Amino acid sequence: MIVNDPIYKTIQIEDDDLIEIVKTKAFQRLSLIKQQGNTFFLHNEAIHTRFEHSLGIYELLKRVISSLSARGDISLTQYEKKLAKVAALLHDIGHGPFSHCFQLISGHDHGEVTLRIISENAEIRNILDRTPNLLNDVLHILKGGSKYKIIEEILFGSLSLDQLDFWNRDLYYSHLHINPYDIDTLIDSLRFKGNTLMIDVSAVPQIERMISMKESLYKHGFSHPFVVGKDLLIQEIFKTVVREDIHLQSQSLSNVLKSEILQIKDFLTLHDKMLVDEVFILSHVKEHEQLSKLATLYLSSTGSVKYDESYMDMSSSTGIVIKENRNYCSYNGEIYVSNGEEIVDILQVSKHIQNITEIPAKYRVYSLNDS
């Protein structure tokens, strides 16, 4: 299987089991789930999907394993390589419509849903069961166990391939005119020492660029107040639906939102358009005037929730208070640099990153009632 990709140009999957995983209905559903949720209201080309990202982290994993193996830093068996690739492909299969936003609507953690889909979906189980122990080992990695430290560190550590794919991918589909980090240079600089993935000192500028990208994509992308307003609107719309037991056209969506026990078969029918279609219908329900107003505002291409912002602590303000998450827009530690025999945190060698970490977090207060 060969897939064209704007980041890596070509993604090639040769293992028959992995090809079958990609063809399952559960995996194909990810092509209907936007990676950045409501960011498309701000950047209209930001409609890339969890499907693309999952294939991207798979391709990136292959390249990193090849580079580290050639360098002699790691040595994985054929089984471990397959295990890592399966975990990369399946790590986001539990995302609901609009990705992280749906987690706040439904209360179902996407990581927990991922584990349940892998465990309960017959198509996926049947493929994984062909290889002894593969199903349980994939679950072990995605639970954050410690049996396969090399794989877990590469996929989900501080220099995780998960992040390395989505920052470049999100930037590509944004309107932001900043240079991405060079993925080939970064891969060549990776080292694996003492169960930790790190970079050679020569690649510090690439990480500096990545941190700057994080800051820009956060502030001018998925955490822009216009986008956050859309998140809050769709969350409030469906919370109102549940609270007032308002009828939905989709029985499976109704089941997921209103039932105490999540049924995976219902969850696997959900996608972005289903929610938007429901919001459109709700915007025309006259007997629920306030709900209709919120739905209409959500669908608007120009309107969102009103807000105030400050660098002062606004946690006692009336409204929905959201503080910038510095983990997403700054450096949050534990990226290590190898300079010969010396290993240090990148913060010790980068004035640029030091300056970014000193920027205070901003507070915003959103008011649904005044919008």
Average pLDDT over residues 83-97: 97
pLDDT at 290 > cutoff 80: yes
Q: 291, 253, 61: which is closest to 157 by C-alpha?
A: 61
Each residue of 15-66: pLDDT tens digit? 999 999 999 999 999 999 999 999 999 999 999 999 999 999 999 999 999 9
State the chain's mean pLDDT as an integer: 95
Q: What band does 328 get if pLDDT is binned at 50, 70 and 90?
A: confident
The percent of residues in the chain predicted with pLDDT above 70, rounded, is: 100
Q: φ, ψ for residue 208 (rounded to 5)?
A: -60, -40
Looking at residue 96, its pLDDT comes to: 97
Arithmetic mean of pLDDT, 256-262:
95
Residue with the bigger pLDDT between 295 and 312: it is 295
Q: What confidence score (pLDDT) does residue 251 get? A: 97
Buried b (16+ CB within 10 A) or exposed e, 49-78: bbbbbbbbbbbbbbbbbebbeeeeebebee
Q: How many Å from the N-terminal Cα to the C-terminal Cα in the chain?
A: 48
pTM equals: 0.94
- pLDDT tens-digit readout, 105-142: 999 999 999 999 999 999 999 999 999 999 999 999 99
Q: Does pLDDT of 152 surpass 80?
A: yes
